[in-house]
Amino acid sequence: MADDGLDRMREIADAAEKVMGDGAHLFEHHCRNGDWLFIGATAAALASSLLHVGPGPIVVGGLVLGFVVNRTEAKQIIARLRGR
């Protein structure tokens, strides 16, 4: 009788995966390299303000590069999980 409840839970989980997709990549690894790149670019922008250079382009560049790095890393994680 205890297996009936587990079988029902497995059926529900299978149905949910078909609807929502596999979310294993969300828990595998959080992409942090891009975050650190953005923090570094922000620090560089603050330091550049001492040299009287506008920090705006450095912050925007760090934001864009950080996004690209994080997205690339996420795609690699998803590809690795699909290869399992």
**Is residue 7 in some structural domain?**
no
Q: Is the residue at 14 inside a domain? A: no
| Burial track 21-47 (b if 16+ CB lie within 10 A, e otherwise) | eeeebeeeeebeebeebbeebbebbee
Distance between CA atoms of 60 and 11, rounded to whole angstroms? 47
What residue numbers bound the domain in which 74 lies? Answer: 26-82
Q: What are the pLDDT digits (tens) for 41-73?
A: 888 888 877 777 677 777 788 888 888 888 888
- The band of 30, judged by pLDDT with boundaries at 50, 70 and 90, is low
pLDDT greater than 70 at residue 1: no
- Number of domains into which the chain is organized: 1
42 within 8 A of 62, measured Cβ to Cβ: yes
For residue 67, being part of any structural domain is answered with: yes
